[in-house]
Homo-oligomer: A and B are copies of this chain.
Amino acid sequence: MYKILSTDNMAKAAEFTTPYGVIQTPCFMNVATVAAIKGALSSIDLKNIGTQVALCNTYHLHLRPTDTVIYEMGGLNKFMAWDGPILTDSGGFQVFSLAHRRKIKEEGVYFSSHINGDKIFMGPEESMQIQSNLASTIAMAFDECPPALAQREYINSSVERTTRWLNRCIVKMKTLNSQEETINKKQLLFGINQGGICVDIRISHAKTISNLDLDGFAIGGLAVGETHEQMYNVLDNVVEFLPKNKPTYLMGVGTPENILEAVDRGVDLFDCVLPARNGRHGHVYTNDGKMNLLNKQYEKDERPIGVDCNCEVCKNFSRAYVRHLLKAKEMLGMRLCVMHNLYYYNNLMSEIRTAILNRSFKEYKNKRLDGYRL
């Protein structure tokens, strides 16, 4: 299911075959929180901007419209009219970042909905059941994501509980995939490595979960407060202890610079809200660095956002026009910036893959990093 096509030092170009299509890695998954990309992009747009995988959020969909509604509608692919792979997170991250009055117990987490305060319980079995209802291609194990800079002692006990939860996820997923009424009986399961910036805990945990029957391995709990150097240090030490014959996924990362550095350390999969969130604020990515389109200097700038970009936005509209839309608070301004940014990321990944296949990744990486520093 996971086949490496080429390596260039630690960087890998691979094919990851899923029941909903082949993912060419390294790949940036586009975040469609509630089954839609924020910024008015639909699944039709995703095709046009070169998206390979949509990532949806279990916590949000569980609350609204609820996973049971989506199950009755035939699963996420049918619901959002997207025929490619979908990865769902486990809900854990949002339970810790969004929910009110959460309480962690061995069985799972008790919390109150951020929408209406409803009391909810989510543990490994509940997360697997919800993700099975959503019928995503790849389900993520239910874990705790402790703050990166939490006390070592807390991280240690948290990681041990995450391992116990992972085993419960595996058991529950097997059961669900064997049930007649399950929509996607070939749902894949990824485990998540945790341990904050404590490299020894990370390595020990990586070794433990590598022995489990999982379809891929994520590195979670990064990009949550630590420095870039601390993140790269974790990758430098941990990636080698994850299975070579399975994809490696760095959760919630990141900037184009982060992605280039992480690919160079052996990572296959990424996701991040940055390009869409920045786009909604008029911050756009180019090979010459990030640009704030609200700046006065773009008022009469007839050039496209990216002078060498082939996206629909850059082929049709000027910086002056997009800036005007943003200043006038027209939704179209946000849409065009988000479209451009996601295309930029997807195209960056495509160029990265080509560079690895050509064994010229270092050169490509340095060219891009030099451009971003301009």
In the complex, chain B residues whose CB is within 8 Å of the CB of A317 = 42, 81
Interface residues of A in 38-56 (CB under 8 A from B): 38-44
Cβ-defined contact, A42 with B324, below 8 A: no
A316 and B44 in contact, given A65-B324, A73-B302, A79-B321 (Cβ under 8 angstroms): yes
Cβ-defined contact, A41 with B332, below 8 A: yes
Cβ-defined contact, A40 with B321, below 8 A: no
In the complex, chain B residues whose CB is within 8 Å of the CB of A318 = 73, 79
Cβ-defined contact, B80 with A39, below 8 A: no
In the complex, chain B residues whose CB is within 8 Å of the CB of A272 = none
Question: What CA separation (Å) do A64 and B323 show in the bound complex?
Answer: 11
A325 beta carbon closer than 8 Å to chain B = yes
Cβ-defined contact, B331 with A69, below 8 A: no
User: How would residues 26 to 47 of chain A score, 1 for a CB under 8 Å from any chain B CB and 0 otherwise?
Assistant: 0000000011111111111000
A300 beta carbon closer than 8 Å to chain B = yes
Most B-side CB within 10 Å, residue of A43, A64, A73: A73
In the complex, chain B residues whose CB is within 8 Å of the CB of A332 = 36-37, 40-42
A200 beta carbon closer than 8 Å to chain B = no
Cβ contact of A325, chosen from B36, B300, B327, cutoff 8 A: B36
A205 beta carbon closer than 8 Å to chain B = no
Which B residue sits closest to A302, measured CB to CB? B73
- List 24 A-B pairs, Cβ < 8 Å: A34-B324, A34-B325, A35-B321, A35-B325, A36-B330, A36-B332, A38-B331, A39-B331, A40-B330, A40-B332, A42-B316, A64-B324, A65-B299, A69-B299, A69-B324, A72-B300, A73-B320, A73-B321, A79-B318, A79-B320, A79-B321, A81-B317, A81-B321, A335-B335
